[in-house]
């Protein structure tokens, strides 16, 4: 059952905001990622996949588990294994 975005946001903030470490990359890394993807003619939704994969590696993970392996294989940074759970 889906819940409204406002309720999902409230639940996340209530349960995780004080204790969760958020993974991500800095501003310069974003621009480098965009430039690299552009040079490879990669755009659209695959940019988000690349950002997820890059942030995963930056957070210290070596494996990204996803049901959509093929979506991530061509955009995952070197050193990140992508596999199905």
Rg of the chain over Cα atoms, rounded to whole angstroms, equals 15
For 23-33, the pLDDT digits (tens) are 789 888 988 99
Q: Average model confidence (pLDDT) for the chain? A: 91
Q: Tell me what pLDDT residue 58 has.
A: 94
Cα separation of 72 and 50, whole Å?
A: 7
> Would you call 81 helix, strand, or coil by DSSP?
strand
Look up residue 55 and give its two tokens: 């942030």
Per domain, the residue ranges of the chain are 25-83
pTM check: above 0.85? no
């Amino acid at each position: 059952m889906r819940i409204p975005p406002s309720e999902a946001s409230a639940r996340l903030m209530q349960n995780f905001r004080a204790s969760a470490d958020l993974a991500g990359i800095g501003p310069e890394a974003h621009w480098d990622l965009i430039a690299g993807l552009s040079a490879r003619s990669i755009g659209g939704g695959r940019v988000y996949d690349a950002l997820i994969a890059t942030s995963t590696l930056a957070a210290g993970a070596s494996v990204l588990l996803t049901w959509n392996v093929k979506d991530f294989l061509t955009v995952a940074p070197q050193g990140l294994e992508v596999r199905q759970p």
